[in-house]
Each structure stands twice: as structure tokens, then as C-alpha cells.
Amino acid sequence: MPDMVGIILAAGKGTRMKSKLPKALHPICGKPISRYVIDACRESGIGDCVVVIGHGADQVRAGLGDDVRYAIQSQQLGTGDACKRAIEVLDGADGDVIVLPGDAPMIGADILKKLSGEHAASGAAATVLTAVLDDARQYGRVIRGADRNVERIVEAKDASPEELKVGEINAAVYCFNLALLRKYLGEITPANAQGEYYLTDVIGLMVRDGLTVGAVVSDDPNVVLGINDRVDLAHLAGLIRRNILEKLMVGGVTVVDPSSTYVDADVVVGADTVIHPQTYIEKGCKIGEGCVIGPSSRLVNVELGNEITVLFSNLTDSTFGDGTRVGPFANIRPGCRIGRKVKLGDFVEAKNSVLEDGVSMGHLSYIGDATIGERTNVGAGTITCNYDGYNKFKTIIGKNVFLGSSTTMVAPVEIGDGALTAAGSVITDNVPADALVIARSKQIVKEQWARLRREQKEKA
């Protein structure tokens, strides 16, 4: 990759999105559209990127990260004007630049390397990336002369019916000699259908003055597709999603039904893990090897070790050790550290809690703000009362504890190692290690009472 500064144009509102969120930040598989473009630049070896922002600038800057430089375009006067704002930030730099639209997330490092390589080798004033589309729609058309060289680019809104028939479109990715770009940006005018300063006009001006403009036609037309409305957004999200899944499959992950599996761009999944249908693995997830995830599960920012099964469950912001089993129908909320070989069965919920290795919580429990020691058994229906309506309190349960079914623990409270709670106990005071605690009313049996009542009612 020749040494070039990247200029990414992302100041537009994205009017056609009809959204309060700036177009640059609309997420696809958990990542903002324009971040895909920055990442492609990075991957191709571009060290310095200037991102032009304007509409919702503060929000866009926060959403895209601080590993790039930003230029502000306060009025969106067109892509040519946006480029001028970036060049101001570059100050007196010379050499070549590569300009990219912030709304075409499928651009990849390979094609950027090819474009910049050809540009550097030819010494052209500009080199344009183009593609041939079956349906060129609103893209700018690349008009070539009789010698097949690029002559100019015409926007769809300004094109004649004849020009609209051209299938070769402008990807809006270009390499420029910076000094020449600077010069010709000074010559463009907004005399066009949209009243904007078009960067594309620079190409025609260069050719008019006898400068060489090269073109690279992309083999894969998809990589140049831009997002201008929500139909484009859904279409490209589908293509990107498929790419993410194919990368996982090539890496040894079984995706049983790619059409109903949703994995975010930054997710890592180990080999021999099987992902069943209707499963969502979102931002921040790291999943080990040999796991079985789904069907019908949603994982957000969780870390799973190896050989873990998750069935019909919802897991967020938590970690899980090797060999743990989750579900069906578990809800593990933020802040949990679940150890190895833990069993979390049906209708159990945990929040901000530590469950050490070998804990078994099989059925119908709520554990919040608690720690549970190794190999403790949590009986069905066990509940921590961690909230008094004003504050949250902690429950500390030791190791090898047997919590009888429907134990209710009113926090703050501690249960010592090896203790046993009788079923149905309401624990309000600390329980020493190895003790039996029975905290419920004693059983009263009235012989024949039920039969006598029945007979009375039947007589009446």
C-alpha cells in the first residue's frame, strides 16, 4: 500500500434515511456504517485518516472513535466542499490521498490496495474506482470517451436518458494527487440539479486539461454499494451478515441455518461450536470451542469458555466457565461471573452475582447481588430478596451449601459453608457453617378435619 492519507466523507445528514441518527452511525451487525470504512482503510495500511463530519458532529465523533482525525464541514454543500474541509486539516501536506464515501461499508482492504497500487504505478492525476451494476439506480455514471478512457462522471439527477443507460457507476472511492485535487476543487461550482459542489466534477476538469485519469473496475460489484435509505441498509446488512457467518464457518463453526442466525461484526467464536437457528450473538461476545448455542438464544457482550451449552436463553454482560449448561429459558443479566460446570436450568434469573464452579441452580430461581460458593445446590424456587424498595443488599452463600426448595434469603445475609436450609425457609439472620436452619412455622395436622368439613357442606 503506497503511503496515502485517507479522507472519509461522513458529514451528510443522510436525508433519505429519514432518521434522527446521523447516517454514519446507523449500525450494521453492531458496527456503525462509517466505522466499516475506517476499518477497511486501517486494514489496507492507511495510517492517517481524516473523517469529515458535520451533521451531528459530536455524536458521530463519539460513535466512530478517536483513532482518526476529524474535519468539520458545518454546512453540507456537497462532496466537493467536504473534501475541501478535509484538505484544510491536512494543511500543507503533499503526495496522494484516497477519498472514500462514509456510506459504503462493504469496501475492503484488497480493493483499496489495488486502486492505490494502480494509481501510484500510473502516476495519474486521479484514479477512480468503478463497478458495473445491473441496476445503476441513483449512482453517478462513469462516462468514457471513444478511447474508453474516463472522460467525466455525471450524477444520475443531472444525466440525460442516454447517460442513464450506462451501467458503469462511480463508487466514490478515488485516489488523487493532492496538489491537483486542491487546485481543481477551487474550480468546481454548484451549477447542477442538486445545487451542490460535486467532487465528481473534478474528474471532468482534470480530463479537460489533458491530465490522466485512470479507473479500476471492481470485480465484485457489491463492495462499492452505498447506503442512502433504509432499503439499502437492510440489503447491505444482509450481505454483511452473510459474510460474517461465512468467515465463522470457514473458521470451523457450524451455523445450522445462516438465514436465521445473527452475529455481530466483532464477535469471536471458536472452532467446533455449533450455532442453532434463531440465535443472536451480539457486540462484544467471545465464545470458546465446542459450545452449542441456541436454538433461540440471545447473547450480548458475554464471554463463554469451552464446551458450554446455551438453550433458549438470554445472556448479557457476563462470563461463563467451561462446561457450564444454561437453559432452557434462563435469563442471565449484567454483572454475573458464572464458574465452570455450573448448571443454570429453566426459569432461573441471575444479576450481578458470582456463581462458583459446580453450582447447580436447576429451576425457578432469582439470585441478585449474591455470591454462591463451589458446588452449592440452589433448590427450586430459591429467591434472594436483595432490594427493599430503596437500596440493594448482598447475599453471601458459602460452598457446599444445600438451599432447600423455596428458600427466601432477605439480604443482607450470609449462609456459611456446608449449611442446609429447610425447604420454605425465610432466612433473615446469618447461618453458621454446617448448621441446619429451619425458618418456617411448624406443621400442624388435624386428623379427620377435612372429611368432617366435607360432610357438613354436603348436608347443608
- Taking residues 225 to 244 in sequence order and writing x for each that binds ligand UD1 by CB under 6 A, - otherwise, the string is -x-x----------------
Interface with ligand UD1 (CB under 6 A), residue from 38, 41, 112, 139 = 139
- Taking residues 75 to 114 in sequence order and writing x for each that binds ligand UD1 by CB under 6 A, - otherwise, the string is -xxxx-xx------------------xxxx----------
- The SS3 call for residue 250 is helix
Nearest distance from residue 78's CB to Mg ion, in Å? 12
If contact means CB under 5 to 8 A according to the sort of partner, which of ligand UD1, Mg ion, none does residue 206 touch?
A: none
Residue 277 in contact with residue 257, Cβ under 8 Å?
yes
Segment interacting with ligand UD1, rule: CB under 6 A, options 8-16, 105-113, 264-272, 383-391: 8-16
Residue 408 in contact with residue 432, Cβ under 8 Å?
no
199 binds ligand UD1 (CB under 6 A): yes
What span, in angstroms and rounded, lies between the C-alpha atoms of 291 and 22? 38
User: Cell 436452619, residue?
Assistant: 437
What span, in angstroms and rounded, lies between the C-alpha atoms of 338 and 400? 16
What span, in angstroms and rounded, lies between the C-alpha atoms of 328 and 312? 5
φ, ψ of residue 92 to 5 degrees: the values are -90, 15
196 binds Mg ion (CB under 5 A): no
The site that binds ligand UD1 (CB under 6 A) totals a number of residues, namely: 29
369 binds Mg ion (CB under 5 A): no
Cell numbers linked to 270: 471458536
Nearest distance from residue 348's CB to ligand UD1, in Å? 46
130 binds ligand UD1 (CB under 6 A): no
> Which amino acids are annotated catalytic?
363
What span, in angstroms and rounded, lies between the C-alpha atoms of 386 and 350? 12
159 binds ligand UD1 (CB under 6 A): no
Residue nearest Mg ion (C-beta atom): 226
- Measured from the CB atom, the residue of 34 and 309 that comes closer to ligand UD1 is 34
226 binds Mg ion (CB under 5 A): yes
10 binds ligand UD1 (CB under 6 A): yes
52 binds ligand UD1 (CB under 6 A): yes
Segment interacting with ligand UD1, rule: CB under 6 A, options 111-119, 175-183, 196-204, 358-366: 196-204
Antiparallel, parallel or unpaired: β 141-144 and 150-154: antiparallel
The site that binds Mg ion (CB under 5 A) totals a number of residues, namely: 3
Nearest distance from residue 13's CB to ligand UD1, in Å? 8
Segment interacting with ligand UD1, rule: CB under 6 A, options 9-17, 60-68, 113-121, 270-278: 9-17
DSSP 54: B
- Taking residues 75 to 104 in sequence order and writing x for each that binds Mg ion by CB under 5 A, - otherwise, the string is ----------------------------x-
Nearest of 288, 162, 196 to residue 299 by alpha carbon? 288
Whether residue 190 has a cis bond before it, omega within 30° of 0: no
Positions 380 through 439 that interact with ligand UD1 (CB under 6 A): none
Interface with ligand UD1 (CB under 6 A), residue from 5, 7, 12, 355 = 12
What span, in angstroms and rounded, lies between the C-alpha atoms of 79 and 101? 9
What span, in angstroms and rounded, lies between the C-alpha atoms of 224 and 214? 17
Nearest of 357, 360, 355 to residue 344 by alpha carbon? 360
What span, in angstroms and rounded, lies between the C-alpha atoms of 97 and 93? 10
State the Cα angle at 251 between 247 and 255, rounded to 5°: 70
DSSP 392: B
- Measured from the CB atom, the residue of 154 and 380 that comes closer to Mg ion is 154
Residue 254 in contact with residue 273, Cβ under 8 Å?
yes
- Measured from the CB atom, the residue of 61 and 375 that comes closer to ligand UD1 is 61
What span, in angstroms and rounded, lies between the C-alpha atoms of 458 and 445? 23
- Measured from the CB atom, the residue of 232 and 356 that comes closer to ligand UD1 is 232
By residue count, the chain amounts to 460
What span, in angstroms and rounded, lies between the C-alpha atoms of 286 and 269? 6
Nearest distance from residue 135's CB to ligand UD1, in Å? 13
Residue 231 in contact with residue 244, Cβ under 8 Å?
no
- Taking residues 328 to 357 in sequence order and writing x for each that binds ligand UD1 by CB under 6 A, - otherwise, the string is ------------------------------
Residues at the site binding ligand UD1, with contacts judged by CB under 6 A: 9-12, 52, 73, 76-79, 81-82, 101-104, 139-140, 153, 155, 169-172, 198-200, 226, 228
